[in-house]
């Protein structure tokens, strides 16, 4: 790496002082047009580029937020990221996107780095709060889609009980009685979506006995539905942990010769744009993903400026049923 060209080099080349160079480069006025041009020429000549660190040190106004997501290739996270980027841009903030490659180890490493690179962090984390705290060493953080127990963190809550209830209501209204679920296989503890579904089924007095686990991928959904239907061939509808799995389920149904929605109704969760691309278009309990990202940024901003935080009820994003073609 060749030695860095500094403002002093430019000053010397142009035969002026540093401060004059600074003025010329920042359009400060109070400078002779000729001098300015001379400085600009010298700067270009030398390939001078101001150090962002030195600049940041002096003017403390650059806010950078870290956005941590498990997988850039998962459209759900991309949609959330898009919302966050948009909200951040509106405030003139920067966003550094970190992809933890869905691995806990990578997450640890990432957090270590994140902590020294940004002013606040928002996103999806899998570490527990205690460990998160040690890696983050005081960095303001907003957890998405996950409750926080310690006041140390803030979080955006996904509320889907009503939406899932809507979905089951819809299925029941269509005459379905045997409704299964494709849950997420990767998580040890029972998750909210599973519970929401159980509640909704109970409300209709229906048996909630046909539940399979799916890996978080299209292929995972395909495999999971195939084996679920083997065990429970009488199912006429299935609710899935998310749209990715649902899309895999769509494919499995097709391969098994079941027409969707006539022979099997499928309802996903998330309401991804991707769901409009497949055929039949996916009926889904939809989240406003952009809003999720925007809220996280908003709250991070408040954390950063010690402004009053958003109240809990505003930190919640409600899912609603979006009926398309698959159910």
Residue 276 contact partner, candidates DNA, its own copies, none, CB within 5 to 8 A by sort of partner = its own copies
12 binds DNA per the rule CB under 7 A: no
Rounded to the nearest 10°, the torsion over CA 197, 198, 200, 201 is 110
Length of the chain: 327
Q: Which of 12, 31, 41, 232 binds DNA (CB under 7 A)?
A: 31
| Interacting residues of 139 by C-beta distance below 8 A, sequence separation 6+ | 114, 115, 118, 119, 120, 121
50 binds DNA per the rule CB under 7 A: yes
| Interacting residues of 294 by C-beta distance below 8 A, sequence separation 6+ | 83, 84, 86, 87
Nearest by Cα to 302 from 67, 149, 142: 142
Q: Which of 12, 25, 86, 215 binds DNA (CB under 7 A)?
A: 25
Helix (H, G, I), strand (E, B) or coil at 71: coil
Region binding DNA by CB under 7 A among candidate stretches 55-63, 154-162, 260-268, 300-308? 55-63
Cβ distance to DNA smaller for residue 10 or 182: 10
Cβ distance to DNA smaller for residue 12 or 217: 12
Q: Is the dihedral of CA 207, 283, 291, 65 positive or negative?
A: positive
Q: Which helix (H) or strand (E) holds 154?
A: strand 154-159
Cβ distance to DNA smaller for residue 117 or 191: 117
The upper half-sphere exposure of residue 10, i.e. CA atoms within 13 Å in the direction of its Cβ, equals 28
Q: Which residues bind its own copies (CB under 8 A)?
A: 1-2, 4, 44, 47-57, 60, 62, 72-73, 75, 78-79, 81-82, 85-86, 89, 94-97, 99, 101, 113, 115-118, 137-139, 218, 247, 250-251, 254, 273-274, 276-279, 304-306
DSSP 39-63: HHHHHHHHT----HHHHHHHSTT--
Q: How far is the CB of 156 from DNA (least distance, A)?
A: 29
Cβ distance to DNA smaller for residue 17 or 230: 17
62 binds DNA per the rule CB under 7 A: no
Residues of the shown chain interacting with DNA in the complex, contacts defined by CB under 7 A:
4, 6-8, 15-23, 25-26, 28-32, 34-36, 48-51, 53-55, 57-60
């Amino acid at each position: 790496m060749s030695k860095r060209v500094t403002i002093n080099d430019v000053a010397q080349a142009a035969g002026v002082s540093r401060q004059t160079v600074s003025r010329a480069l920042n359009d400060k006025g109070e400078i002779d047009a000729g001098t300015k041009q001379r400085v600009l020429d010298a700067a270009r000549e030398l390939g001078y580029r101001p150090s962002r660190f030195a600049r940041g040190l002096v003017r403390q106004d650059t806010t950078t937020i870290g956005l941590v997501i498990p997988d850039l290739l998962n459209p759900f996270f991309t949609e959330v990221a898009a919302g966050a980027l948009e909200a951040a841009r509106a405030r003139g903030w920067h966003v550094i996107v970190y992809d933890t490659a869905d691995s806990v180890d990578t997450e640890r490493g990432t957090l270590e780095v994140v902590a020294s690179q940004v002013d606040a962090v928002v996103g999806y984390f899998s570490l527990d709060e205690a460990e998160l705290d040690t890696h983050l060493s005081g960095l303001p953080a907003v957890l998405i889609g996950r409750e926080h127990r310690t006041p140390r963190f803030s979080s955006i809550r996904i509320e889907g009980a009503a939406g899932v209830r809507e979905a089951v209501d819809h299925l029941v209204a269509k005459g379905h009685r045997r409704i299964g679920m494709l849950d997420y296989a990767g998580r040890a503890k029972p998750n909210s979506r599973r519970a929401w579904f159980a509640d909704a089924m109970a409300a209709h007095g229906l048996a909630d006995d046909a539940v399979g686990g799916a890996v978080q991928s299209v292929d995972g959904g395909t495999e999971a539905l195939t084996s679920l239907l083997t065990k429970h061939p009488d199912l006429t509808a299935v609710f899935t942990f998310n749209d990715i799995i649902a899309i895999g389920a769509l494919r499995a149904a097709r391969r098994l010769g079941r027409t969707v929605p006539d022979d099997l109704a499928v309802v996903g969760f998330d309401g991804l744009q991707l769901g409009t691309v497949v055929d039949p278009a996916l009926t889904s309990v939809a989240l406003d993903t952009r809003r999720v990202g925007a809220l996280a940024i908003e709250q991070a901003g408040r954390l950063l400026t010690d402004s009053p935080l958003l109240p809990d009820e505003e930190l919640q994003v409600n899912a609603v049923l979006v009926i398309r073609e698959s159910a």
